[in-house]
Chains A and B, each alone.
Chain A
């Protein structure tokens, strides 16, 4: 389990994150929700050690993250950036192989991991294409494959659905569910409340750098809390296959 305690991030006079406490359990999908500028990405980046929090502690399986070597940390936590960059004209399989950089040179287990990652993300047919020249949606699936190839124990994904078409959005959500079922702890930032309701075991609802509410779908995705967070009214219905559908229909 990843835990963060009293986590604060201050840039200049601006409090990006304000004394946050919470956890990302193994084997579960934790969805981080909140309005633009709420600090969702900053929270993920702090946990992935991309930015250094001003105050607070982060623990991976009870060990303080500061006591874990960067290589070891990178093996445990895979980070999928929002609109990730791809520089140079490397092909897809080379790019996905870069996910294995954290795991050393075991070519046999690496090539299996690469194959699995390409298959899961439905990108095997693209493996010889130049990654930077793919469409937005293909690119984000390939970048997800890169994270999976490293076989991390935790995956932090910042808006992984943003560039995908609806079919691949559902596929990717299902992938995250499957990966979590294998014991990986997953934290994803989403904007779509319906998808959040579909996939989340736990939800962390943020606004202006603080956590407004955390818990399961029923305790967090209520019209009152959504209203308080986003300033919108929503209609909550149910789909034929039993998932919540949350549709915003007006601003307050």
Chain B
């Protein structure tokens, strides 16, 4: 058996370094000596960059682990937390709050998004049924994500004025711009609980490597595993969308990057994917912040720009293996 403790420690240290580095990066150069001075420049660090960095790490970890768990559960390397329909239902909730103009408090939009995610999760559980069947689960996820996607488009097309539709479109692209400690307070507990729930799936995911029937014969409770995934992924993804919009590809890409280092056993991919997901999102956010442009490149777009070529590479590699 592979001992993955050193790799996890290395990833953790790397995450801390990148998070520290992230505090230095931005349009304004704030010397270290002024960070806690209390003047305007120090606010850039304590009220903007610090929460932004922490949120990046939180959602990256949640998305990374969700992706690893989903791929293990569906035994499909192309699975992504997005196909679940939770991210698009959370997005629908957030879009609804923008549409109706309920943005008076910073808590309202995330609250709507979490409500959307909860409804999406409940629908998923309802449609997938009590058997714990993988096919029903996947189809239910696809139905929910296409329905919520259509409703989101409907709201954009019915927007009362161009400003609202502009706001919605911009929000959907996903970003960590102007996040505050309030967002940390919303996302941190939910993602921690979600990841905690997902760690219980490890052994069952390992057994699933041998197929659904063999896993059942080994005592895996498929309906229970389905609940673990719905709740775990729902909390992680719902919380991420609530505070940062849709940030794709993290859940898809990160488990693949980790497998060659930690072995392919699904349970050993979970923690490294969380750590590497956090690293990836914080690093990508540093990149968009340091690009010399007038309006900041949205993080969601940057991730997709980086993710799409990777996805293509993955497909080519799989095709080579099949032939």
Per the 8 Å Cβ criterion, residues 120-167 of A in contact with B are 143, 146, 150
Q: Mark B203-242, 1 if CB is under 8 A from A, else 0.
A: 1001111110110111111000000000000000000000
Interface residue A94 (Cβ < 8 Å from any Cβ of B): yes
- Min Cβ gap A93→B in Å is 8
B263 touches A (CB below 8 Å): yes
Cα distance A146–B266 in the bound complex, in angstroms: 17
Closest 4 CB pairs of A and B: A85-B211, A74-B219, A79-B217, A70-B219
Q: Are A77 and B265 in contact (CB under 8 A)?
A: no
- Residues 72-117 of A at the B interface (beta carbon under 8 Å): 73-74, 77-79, 81, 84-91, 93-95, 97-98, 101-102
Which residues of B176-215 are within 8 A (CB) of A? 203, 206-211, 213-214
> Are A71 and B219 in contact (CB-based, < 8 A)?
yes
Stretch at the interface among A14-22, A45-53, A58-66: A45-53
CB <8 Å contact, B209 and A88:
yes
A49 to B207, CA, bound (A): 15
Shortest Cβ gap from A126 to chain B (Å): 16
Closest Cβ of chain A: how far from B47's Cβ, in Å? 44
Contact with A along B65-85 (1 / 0, CB 8 A): 000000000010000000000
Q: Are B213 and A102 in contact (CB under 8 A)?
A: no
The answer to whether A84 and B217 touch across the interface, beta carbons within 8 angstroms, is no
> Is the CB–CB distance between B219 and A73 below 8 Å?
yes
Q: Which residues of B contact A49 (CB under 8 A)?
A: 216-217
Whether B1 and A97, one on each chain, are in contact in the complex, defined by CB atoms closer than 8 angstroms, is yes
Residues of chain A having any CB pair with chain B under 8 Å = 45, 48-50, 69-71, 73-74, 77-79, 81, 84-91, 93-95, 97-98, 101-102, 143, 146, 150
User: B264's contact among A45, A81, A90, A102, by CB below 8 Å, is which?
Assistant: A90
The residues of B with any CB-CB pair to A shorter than 8 Å are 1-2, 75, 203, 206-211, 213-214, 216-221, 259, 263-266
19 pairs from A and B in contact (CB 8 Å cutoff): A50-B213, A50-B216, A70-B220, A70-B221, A74-B219, A79-B214, A79-B217, A79-B218, A85-B211, A86-B210, A87-B75, A87-B209, A88-B264, A89-B264, A94-B2, A97-B1, A98-B210, A102-B219, A150-B218
Contacts A85-B214, A90-B263 given; indicate if A98 touches B219 (C-beta within 8 A). Answer: no
B217 x A88 contact (CB < 8 A): no
Which B residues are in CB contact (< 8 Å) with A143? Answer: 210
What CA separation (Å) do A81 and B207 show in the bound complex? 13
A48 touches B217 (CB 8 A): yes
Q: CB < 8 Å: which of B1, B220, B265 contacts A88?
A: B265
By a CB distance below 8 angstroms, the chain A residues around B259 are 88-89
Contacts of B207 in A (CB 8 A): 98, 101
Q: Check if A94 sits within 8 Å of B265, measured CB to CB.
A: yes
Name the distance in Å between B2's Cβ and chain A's nearest Cβ: 8
| Cross-chain contact of B214 among A70, A81, A91 (Cβ < 8 A) | A81
Q: Are A94 and B1 in contact (CB under 8 A)?
A: yes
Q: How far apart sit A69 and B219, CA to CA, in the bound complex (Å)?
A: 8
Chain A residue with the shortest CB-CB distance to B72: A88
Chain B residues within 8 Å of A79, by CB: 213-214, 217-218
For A98, the closest partner residue in chain B by CB is B206
Whether the pair A84, B209 counts as a contact (CB closer than 8 A) is no
The CA-CA distance from A41 to B264 in the complex, in Å, is: 30
Chain A residues in 8 Å Cβ range of B264 = 88-90, 94
Residue of B75, B219, B221, B266 contacting most chain A CB atoms (<10 Å): B219
With both beta carbons as reference points, the residue of chain B lying nearest to A47 in the complex is identified as B217
Q: Are B209 and A50 in contact (CB under 8 A)?
A: no
The residue from A48, A78, A94 contacting B263, defined by CB atoms under 8 A apart? A94
* A86 x B218 contact (CB < 8 A): no
User: Distance in Å from the Cβ of A94 to the closest Cβ of chain B?
Assistant: 6
Is A102 in contact with B210, judged by CB distance below 8 angstroms? no
Residues of B within 8 A of A146 (CB): 210
* Bound Cα distance A77, B218 (Å): 8
Q: Which residues of B contact A94 (CB under 8 A)?
A: 1-2, 263-265
Given A74-B219, A101-B203: A45 and B210 interface contact (C-beta under 8 Å): no
Q: How far is the CB of A159 from chain B (nearest CB, A)?
A: 14
Apart from A45-B213, A48-B216, 4 more pairs, CB < 8 Å: A49-B216, A49-B217, A88-B266, A98-B209
Residues on the B chain within 8 Å of A45, using CB: 213
Asked whether, in the complex, the Cβ of A102 is within 8 Å of the Cβ of B218, the reply is yes
Q: Shortest distance in angstroms between B137's beta carbon and chain A's nearest beta carbon? A: 16
CA distance A87 to B219 in the complex (A): 18
In the complex formed, the residue of B with least CB distance to A41 is B213
Q: A49-B216, A88-B264, A94-B263 are in contact. Are A81 and B206 (CB under 8 A)?
A: no
Q: Report A-chain residues with C-beta under 8 Å of the C-beta of B208.
A: 87
Alpha-carbon separation in the docked complex, A95 to B210 (Å):
8
In the assembled complex, the Cα of A90 lies from the Cα of B208 at a distance in Å of 12
B218 and A84 contacting across the interface, CB-CB below 8 Å = no
Whole-angstrom CA separation of A49 from B220 in the bound complex? 11
